[in-house]
Amino acid sequence: MISCSEQQRTACSIGGAYTALAIEKVLPVLHAGPGCIQNAGAVIANLNGAQRGVSYVNSIIPSTNFCDKDVVFGASGRLHKLVQKSLEYYKTDMLMLVDGCSSEIVGDDIEEVASDFADSPIPVLWAKLPGFKGNNIWGHSQVLNSIADQYLKKLPKREINPKQVNVFGIVPYYDTFWMGDMEELEKTLTAIGLEPNIIYGRGKGIEAVKKIPQGAFNLVLSPWTDLEFAGHLQDIFGTPFFHYPCLPVGPTETAKFIRELAEFANLDRINAEAYIRREEERYYFYIFNSVGQFLGGPQTPKRFYINSSAAAAVSLTRFLVNDYGKTPVKVYITDDVPPAYQEGIIRSLRDINSGDAEDFDIVFTNDGGLCVTEMEKEAFKYRKVSFFGTCWDQLFANNHGLPFVAVSAPSGDVISCTASRFGYNGALSFLRDMCRDMSQKVLGSGIVAKLVEEQPADH
């Protein structure tokens, strides 16, 4: 039987170029077909929170626009000239040469071209990202490995900063709210006594990249992404890493994360507990004064489906079960998780405070449409559920009147800005979105829950 996957939820590996774009003033130079970066960006940037490059929009990224003639004769010479002109005309701190399928198949060697610029005052790195090798998450890891192997290894050795923690695990652009998550995470880590070093986003850039080797440890916040890279940094620089299996959402998970991190990093426990207490008091103030009527009412669905990346699935399942007693029906994970990591993700999903922890199914699939195909069999008219997925799933949820929030790429018609899913504020943001949709579909009142997200003056 012939089958096919539908509803694209990851980009091809050239989408890894967006990891370079997430680092301020790092410029990808593409040796790929015309439109490759735009096609990747549609899934993980443009239609995923209306995102653009930190320093450069994708429409001005230099490209050789590899064409039919180049398939026959090659285009290494044109790439060499493109790099020369890019160094001349662009204000940049680093160039990252990236190739695609066609140029990789015909054997154009971007590594050789990059080596021609070894004496350039602006570093010229390379990352081979043919689409037949993997998706954008694989491409993301290749870009990070290129930075470590081709740039960081060559830097003079620096003294270790005992308070510095390098933050990984969040995949920029692919994780819709990565900018807001990074900002909230930076505030939290600083408040408990650490000096977070984040290489992505506004005001970071190459100076933050240079500091990676002097970190006391690396923090990986994800079920599986960047774990291999953290191990690679440990091999190169001897830097240990602390792995937490999800981006914490809500009071239960965030407090657990802070306590485990404080123990690992030998932080001041009194200060950490004081921070947890302050944030929990603030969080529950807004819960009791804003959304209690929505979350506890008989109209509120108690069961839910998730059709998303592993990162979103683990974070939200643990939050919805541990903090609000919801029950997962089935969890579909669509980001092509390598088999070696799947068992760990299953354990993380079942590590919840519920007697029904063993009663829901977990499906790893590349077919994003499988979830709604199976949900069609449910009698939703009499048994409501909530649904969390991507913009591909929104029409199904609307047609069946199911409360829905887009939690994974592509998220569709949302604006990411400073929105976050991390921690206490991230939970309030998520609940606001969930209650808004639920009030329209389930309660029918048109009332929109209002959650105040501004930081107090003394926060």
Residue 330's DSSP bridge partners are 305, 361
Model confidence at 452: pLDDT above 60 = no
Predicted confidence at residue 5, as pLDDT, reads 63
CATH of domain 294-443: 3.40.50.1980
What mean pLDDT do residues 127-144 have? 95
Q: Which two tokens stand for residue 433?
A: 């979105």
pLDDT tens-digit readout, 385-401: 999 999 999 999 998 88
> pLDDT tens-digit profile of 144-199?
999 999 999 999 998 999 999 999 999 999 999 999 999 999 999 999 999 999 99
Highest mean pLDDT among 58-67, 89-98, 363-372: 89-98
Element (H, E) at 380: none
pLDDT greater at residue 74 or residue 122: 122
Q: What is the pLDDT of residue 416?
A: 86
Report the CATH fold assignment for 161-269.
Rossmann fold (3.40.50)
Q: Residues 260-281: what's their mean pLDDT?
A: 98
pLDDT at 381: 65
* Peptide linkage before 410 cis (omega within 30 of 0): yes
- pLDDT above 70 for 297: no
Lowest-pLDDT range of 17-21, 130-134, 249-253, 311-315: 130-134
Contact yes or no for 400/384 (Cβ under 8 A): no
pLDDT digits (tens, 9 = 90+) for 323-369: 998 999 999 999 999 999 999 999 999 999 876 556 899 999 989 99
Closest CA to 42 of 66, 65, 11: 11
What are the strands of the beta sheet with 386-389, ordered from one edge?
361-364, 327-333, 303-308, 386-389, 404-406
Give me the pLDDT at residue 401, please: 87
Residue 454 has pLDDT above 50, yes or no: no
Question: How far is the CA of 189 from the CAs of 73, 158, 169, 258, 274, in angstroms?
Answer: 53, 22, 15, 9, 14
Q: What pLDDT shows up at residue 450?
A: 47
Q: Which residue ranges make up each domain of the chain?
A: 13-154, 161-269, 294-443
What is the C-alpha separation between 51 and 2, in angstroms, rounded?
Answer: 36
Average pLDDT value for residue range 114-122: 96
Residue 104 confidence (pLDDT):
85
125 close to 95: Cβ distance less than 8 angstroms = yes
Higher pLDDT: 336 or 414? It is 336
Which run of H or of E encompasses 128? strand 124-128
Is-same-fold flag (13-154; 294-443)?
yes
CA-to-CA distance for 122 and 129, rounded, in angstroms? 22
- Pairing of β 361-364 and β 241-244: unpaired
Exposed (0-12), middle (13-18) or buried (19+): which is 187, by Cβ within 10 Å? Answer: middle
Average model confidence (pLDDT) for the chain?
Answer: 90
Tell me the chain's radius of gyration from C-alpha atoms.
23
Looking at residue 436, what is its pLDDT? 85
Superfamily of domain 13-154, CATH level 4: Nitrogenase molybdenum iron protein domain (3.40.50.1980)
Percent of the chain with pLDDT over 70: 89
What's the pLDDT at 305? Answer: 96
In the predicted structure, residue 251 carries a pLDDT above the cut 60: yes
Task: Write the pLDDT tens digit of every residue in 3-51.
Answer: 666 688 999 999 999 999 999 999 999 998 888 888 888 899 989 998 9
